[in-house]
């Protein structure tokens, strides 16, 4: 029924008087969303597709398997009579969530309360899948691992493309979402989503994934990987009910507490941090810091080939040959 026909019928009803008699025709096997107008007298309808038990997630239109680009719903008059053609159902998208840079969450937002056998997927633009409830813990874990694996593969592929535009000493080793624990326990949201990246000599903390080169200059915090310490927490070290946590301690003594969703995410982070630290130490070889020894301004050189050297900052006289 097009718009013009609908308007004409409304006008007829308005002019019909006080009493109107309507005859209703019942369509017995109406597929989901009424996309495919089947009826009892249609002799050309394939017998294996005449069931009215279509899934609400399944496209009610029938499609020819030899034409993958044809997604238009076909009417009865267009059904082919060739016995060599086969019809098949196709899934239609109720909500499409790109997995690149998306994140998973098993927890009630901002808390350490885990949903039972449920999770949600949040796209990089904020579009959310809603809470996906699974029938069992095993099914929930299977879905989480499968989605996490796809996100990881997409991220690795994207990193390879981005690294083509960066010099060797500025290569990206890791990018991914985690939850940062707020240091103020009185806040309503104890945890907030944070995007971490290991690139070159630095660990970057972002509110969202960096897209442009300019985004890399606007990180919330930046740390030198050879001046921070990462610790994977044991169960006895956890501050709440969230599992799979780690801390990052900066050179200033600041402790940052992070949580990831799965054990494989934690293992991936640990490998990436070790790789980034090794690559940077191998690149710089030595580093000199200012320090004070017995009220004298000194210099401390850490040479990753020869060891430690301490010298007077004014005279450059070494205090010892090495430690």
pLDDT along the chain (323 residues), means of 10: 61 78 66 44 40 40 44 46 62 84 94 94 92 94 95 96 92 96 76 96 96 93 93 95 95 90 96 94 84 85 82 80 44
* Residues 6 or more apart whose Cβ sits within 8 Å of residue 30: 38, 52
Residue-level pLDDT at 303:
83
Q: In the beta sheet, which residues pair with residue 257?
A: 247
∠ CA(254), CA(294), CA(314), 5° rounding? 95
The pTM of the full predicted model, rounded to 2 decimals, is 0.67
DSSP, residue by residue, 226-285 = GG-EEEEPPGGG-SSS--SEEEEE-TTS-EEEEE-SSHHHHHHHHHHHHHHHHHHHHHH-
Give the pLDDT of residue 73.
44
Residue 59's Cα: distance from chain center in Å? 27
- DSSP letter at 109 equals T
pLDDT of residue 260: 97
pLDDT at 27: 58
Question: For residues 299 and 292, is the Cβ–Cβ distance under 8 A?
Answer: no
pLDDT at 265: 96
pLDDT on residue 83: 60
Report the distance separating Cα 207 and Cα 213, nearest Å: 16
Dihedral, 8, 9, 10, 16 alpha carbons, nearest 10: 110
Rounded to whole angstroms, how far apart are CA atoms 4 and 19? Answer: 24
pLDDT value at residue 35: 46
């Amino acid at each position: 029924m097009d718009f013009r026909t609908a308007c004409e019928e409304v006008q007829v009803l308005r002019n019909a008087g006080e009493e109107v008699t309507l005859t209703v025709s019942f369509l017995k096997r109406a597929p989901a969303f009424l996309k495919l107008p089947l009826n009892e007298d249609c002799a050309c309808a394939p017998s294996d597709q005449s069931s009215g038990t279509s899934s609400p997630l399944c496209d009610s239109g029938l499609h020819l398997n030899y034409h993958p680009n044809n997604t238009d719903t076909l009417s009865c008059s267009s059904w082919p009579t060739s016995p060599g053609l086969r019809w098949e159902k196709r899934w239609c998208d109720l909500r499409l969530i790109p997995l690149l840079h998306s994140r998973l969450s098993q927890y009630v937002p901002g808390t350490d309360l885990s949903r039972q056998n449920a999770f949600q997927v949040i796209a990089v633009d904020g579009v959310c899948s809603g809470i996906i409830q699974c029938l069992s813990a095993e099914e929930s874990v299977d879905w989480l691992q499968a989605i996490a694996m796809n996100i990881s593969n997409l991220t690795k592929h994207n990193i390879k493309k981005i690294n083509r535009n960066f010099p060797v000493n500025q290569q990206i080793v890791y990018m991914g979402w985690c939850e940062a624990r707020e240091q103020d326990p009185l806040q309503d949201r104890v945890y907030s989503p944070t995007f971490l990246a290991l690139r070159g000599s630095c660990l970057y903390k972002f509110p969202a994934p960096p897209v442009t080169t300019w985004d890399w200059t606007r990180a919330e915090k930046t740390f030198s990987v050879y001046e921070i310490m990462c610790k994977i927490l044991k169960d006895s070290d956890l501050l709440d009910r969230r599992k799979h946590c780690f801390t990052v301690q900066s050179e200033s003594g600041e402790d940052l507490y992070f949580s990831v969703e799965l054990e494989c995410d934690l293992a991936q982070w640990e490998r990436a941090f070790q790789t980034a630290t090794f690559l940077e130490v191998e690149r710089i070889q030595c580093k000199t810091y200012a320090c004070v020894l017995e009220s004298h301004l000194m210099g401390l050189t850490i040479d990753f080939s020869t060891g430690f050297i301490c010298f007077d900052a004014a005279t450059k006289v070494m205090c010892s040959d090495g430690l």
